[in-house]
Amino acid sequence: MNQLVNINVSVPEEILLSLQVDSDEFAAQMKAVTAMKLFENQKLSIGQSAAFAGLGEADFIKLLGQNKISIFGSAADIMDDMNNA
């Protein structure tokens, strides 16, 4: 089993109040947004990103779609793949 590392992030309480979330919900949102960005920037795979976000792969793919992030990469990436095939 993978060992987990805790990372502490300080957030002003007024941010949580403005967003109307508690610290656990905010932490989950931060993990999901970070996982999406790491996937979008091709730093993590779908599986790694889903695990980081605490979601199954299918739910993570749905989350990507809701945020208009393609699982297929950019049009330029697709063209490069086609040209290299």
* pLDDT for the residue 74: 62
| Segment holding 42, helix H or strand E | none
H runs (alpha helix) in 1-85 = 13-19, 23-40, 46-53, 57-66, 75-84
Residue matched to tokens 């809701």:
66
pLDDT in tens, 29-82: 999 999 999 999 999 999 999 999 999 999 999 999 999 999 986 666 666 667
Structure-block tokens of residue 46: 């779908």
* pLDDT for the residue 72: 85
Structure-block tokens of residue 74: 């950019």
CB atoms within 10 A of CB 3: 4
Is residue 84's pLDDT more than 80? no
Closest Cα partner for 40 from 7, 8, 17, 71? 71
Q: Kindly report the pTM of this predicted structure.
A: 0.81
